[in-house]
């Protein structure tokens, strides 16, 4: 599916034209409370009013959204006879909007999550407000069903039109600014070493890594160019994981997030910091069909992309970045946490990891992560 990407550098009119070209009449806008405070939020509200496009807002969801929230969104979409969807926000807004799109044409009242997904042509627009998840570029959505994380996947849930607006990052809290950037960084490196990597995905990973490193200082200072380029880096890293999916770094981070209340990107960065050097030292346990020598070469490529002479230097550079941002590991509540953590890891995600990890190794890595 072709995706139209629009930059706000010359204003929002080109984005507005996309709605007129598709004859949109009533749109559900999946967004948080900050929508109306954004410049683009005011533009959209005024533009839609001037062009007789009715807005139906949906904000009844939380970070790490659950299935019930999605069902509410589907009901709102149906009852208001909406003809299109606009997601404005970070990963949670994107995930909810994606699921609304996928489920909106399923039989009414069905258990959507257990039904076969039938692609549909509902127009879907997106404005990412963080430079991290790259969700606007992927076929994946994450929601929680009966307390368990579920990954929903279908190419038809990728937005057809995206607006990149650096101004939306200007009010991002400092912590969110750091952790979303690290989420994009983790996407890029995990995709690079994934057993599912291709020449195309590795090119995306390389571009994303270089963009992140070259623009990190400007982005952390909240400068326009840094914000613009970090949005691009997150999007490119999203394109990489859309091909490969993530690996053990992400598989290990989800329970850290829920158990200790830290952000997803924070948890992922802590996991990748310890996973990376372990894998470099254990390529003899390679499960990638291309072999251990190939994996060694991949780690060399990542080091080159990061401007380092050796794979270990690259891994150390990543860890130093995490530490320099003041993103410390949480304190464990009890020794029983380690048992909970090691048993939480999704084996499916480990199949994408190039180095075999058994439960003892995962336990050892969690001990290193949590010191």
DSSP 8-state secondary structure symbol assigned to residue 105: T
Task: State the Cα–Cα distance between residues 300 and 187, nearest whole angstrom.
Answer: 18
Give me the pLDDT at residue 1, please: 61
Give me the pLDDT at residue 114, please: 85
Task: State the Cα–Cα distance between residues 170 and 38, nearest whole angstrom.
Answer: 10
Q: What is the pLDDT of residues 70-79, one digit of tens each?
A: 999 999 999 9
Task: State the Cα–Cα distance between residues 179 and 219, nearest whole angstrom.
Answer: 12
Tokens representing residue 43 in the block: 């533009």
Q: What is the pLDDT of residues 27-38, one digit of tens each?
A: 999 999 889 899
Give me the pLDDT at residue 361, please: 97
Give me the pLDDT at residue 2, please: 78
End-to-end CA distance of the chain: 45
Which residue ranges in the chain fall short of pLDDT 50?
Answer: none
Alpha helix positions (H), the chain: 13-21, 39-50, 67-79, 91-103, 174-193, 199-220, 224-244, 248-260, 264-281, 292-305, 311-324, 336-344, 347-350, 359-369
Task: State the Cα–Cα distance between residues 207 and 202, nearest whole angstrom.
Answer: 9
Give me the pLDDT at residue 283, please: 97
In this prediction the pTM is 0.94
Task: State the Cα–Cα distance between residues 294 and 229, nearest whole angstrom.
Answer: 31
* CA-to-CA dists, residue 318 to 205, 212, 216, 337, angstroms: 15, 12, 12, 26
* CA-to-CA dists, residue 16 to 12, 24, 89, 164, angstroms: 6, 11, 18, 13
Could you please state the CATH topology (level 3) that the domain comprising 4-168 is classified under. Rossmann fold (3.40.50)
- Residue-range domain boundaries for the chain: 4-168, 172-369
Q: What is the pLDDT of residues 57-108, one digit of tens each?
A: 999 998 889 999 999 999 999 999 999 999 999 999 999 999 999 999 998 8
Task: State the Cα–Cα distance between residues 6 and 12, nearest whole angstrom.
Answer: 9
8 A C-beta contact, residue 71 and residue 124: no
| 172-369 under CATH 1.20.1090.10, yes or no | yes
């Amino acid at each position: 599916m072709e995706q139209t990407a629009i930059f706000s550098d010359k204003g929002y009119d080109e984005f507005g034209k996309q709605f007129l070209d598709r004859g949109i009449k009533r749109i559900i806008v999946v967004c948080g409370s900050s929508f109306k405070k954004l410049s683009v939020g005011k533009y959209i509200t005024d533009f839609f009013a001037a062009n007789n496009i009715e807005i139906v807002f949906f904000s009844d969801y939380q970070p790490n959204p659950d299935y019930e929230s999605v069902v509410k969104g589907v009901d709102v979409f149906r009852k208001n006879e909406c003809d299109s969807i606009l997601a404005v926000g970070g990963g949670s807004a994107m995930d909810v909007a994606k699921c609304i799109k996928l489920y909106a044409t399923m039989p009414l009242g069905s258990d959507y999550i257990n039904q076969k997904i039938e692609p549909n042509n509902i127009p879907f627009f997106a404005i990412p407000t963080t430079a991290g998840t790259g969700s606007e570029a992927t076929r994946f959505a994450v929601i929680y069903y009966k307390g368990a994380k579920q990954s929903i996947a279908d190419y038809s849930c990728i937005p057809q039109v995206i607006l990149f607006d650096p101004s939306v990052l200007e009010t991002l809290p400092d912590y969110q600014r750091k952790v979303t950037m690290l989420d994009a960084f983790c996407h890029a490196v995990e995709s690079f070493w994934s057993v599912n990597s291709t020449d195309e995905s590795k090119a995306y990973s390389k571009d994303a890594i270089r963009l992140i490193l070259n623009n990190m200082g400007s982005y952390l200072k909240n400068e326009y160019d840094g914000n613009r380029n970090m949005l691009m880096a997150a999007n490119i890293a999203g394109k990489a994981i859309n091909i490969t999916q993530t690996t053990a770094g992400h598989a290990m981070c989800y329970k850290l997030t829920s158990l200790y209340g830290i952000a997803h990107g924070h948890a992922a960065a802590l996991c990748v910091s310890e996973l990376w050097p372990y894998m470099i030292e254990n390529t003899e346990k390679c499960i990638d069909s291309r072999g251990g020598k190939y994996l060694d070469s991949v780690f060399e490529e990542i080091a080159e992309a990061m401007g380092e002479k050796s794979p270990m230097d690259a891994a150390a550079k990543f860890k130093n970045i995490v530490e320099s941002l003041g993103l410390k590991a949480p304190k464990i509540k009890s020794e029983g946490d380690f048992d909970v953590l090691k048993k939480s890891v999704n084996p499916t995600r480990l199949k994408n990891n190039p180095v075999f990890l058994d439960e003892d190794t995962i336990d050892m890595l969690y001990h290193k992560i949590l010191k």
